[in-house]
Amino acid sequence: MSKLNKTAINLDTSAREQLVALLNQRVGLFTDLYVQTKLAHWNVRGPHFIAYHELFDSIAAHLLTAQDSMAERAATLGGSAGMTVQDIAKDTTLAAWPIKTRQDHDVIRILEERLGQAGNYIREDIDTAAKLGDADTADLFTEVSRELDHDLWFVEAHLQD
């Protein structure tokens, strides 16, 4: 028996269950990435402090928007939205943020790695959602991917000569 709420959305139950699980997995990932981005924002130091401080805050805001959209899509498909903090800590695929790392060029490299990792997962998710017959979730993942890639471009620009 399905754990999903009834909906008139005409995707089969199995596809909806898989999509809800995937969306919630990404909600957890983006929660972790958000916290890591805020740690970077609060702790970065160096000659480019203010530029990084403001950039990281902007990225964090984008992550929250994406997180909310993915959680709401999970609910729209009839599932429960989100994960507990305990489940996020257990299930995240991101390495723990090195809290004592503060030098601006080190922080920017770590954030580049984390944003790239999340973006690569989301690009895979576009294909998964499409294979499950859900163009709307695939489109949502495409929108999230586009914003992540844009933020990654801003971060990577600081690493180029």
Identify the band that residue 1 occupies on the pLDDT scale cut at 50, 70 and 90: very low
Give the separation between CA 114 and CA 149, rounded to whole angstroms.
Answer: 12
The confidence score (pLDDT) of residue 55 equals 97
Q: Map out the domains of the chain with their CATH numbers.
A: 13-157 (1.20.1260.10)
Kindly report the average pLDDT of the chain as a whole number.
95
pTM: 0.94
Phi and psi at residue 103, to the nearest 5°: -60, 130
Give the side-chain half-sphere CA count within 13 A for 81.
13
